[in-house]
């Protein structure tokens, strides 16, 4: 019985560790326009183009362009922390 409880506890702990790990993976990166230096911050979105907050750069529509200079997504570079 106590063995089962210990096993349950360790599986709960694993789940917590895993979910923390997943959150690190999906932490959204900022992207910088290599043409004009505009920074797309996924926590803010892009109010000029009607992109709401919490949209990762990767999931922006392919026809999304830099709201500052009109460069396409290919002109953006991921910013490493
Ligand atoms: Zn730009």
- Residue 26's pLDDT is 60
From the CA of 25, how far away is ligand 1's center (Å)?
Answer: 26
pLDDT tens sequence for the chain (81 residues): 667 767 767 666 676 656 665 555 567 999 999 999 999 999 999 999 999 999 999 999 999 999 999 999 999 999 987
User: What pLDDT is attached to residue 23?
Assistant: 53
pLDDT for the residue 81: 72
CA 23 to centroid of ligand 1, rounded, Å: 29
Span from the CA of 76 to the centroid of ligand 1 (angstroms): 8
Give the distance (Å) from ligand 1 centre to CA of residue 48: 13
Q: What is the whole-number distance in angstroms between the Cα of residue 65 and the centre of ligand 1? A: 8
The CATH-assigned architecture of domain 2-78 is Single Sheet (2.20)
66 touches 33 (CB < 8 A) = yes
């Amino acid at each position: 019985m106590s063995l089962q409880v210990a096993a349950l506890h360790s599986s709960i702990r694993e789940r917590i560790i895993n979910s923390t790990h997943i959150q690190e993976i999906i932490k959204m990166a900022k992207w910088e326009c290599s043409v004009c230096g505009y920074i797309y911050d996924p926590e803010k979105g892009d109010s000029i183009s009607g992109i709401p907050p919490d949209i990762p750069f990767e999931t922006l529509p392919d026809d999304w362009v830099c709201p500052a200079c009109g460069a396409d997504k290919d002109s953006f570079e991921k910013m490493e922390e």
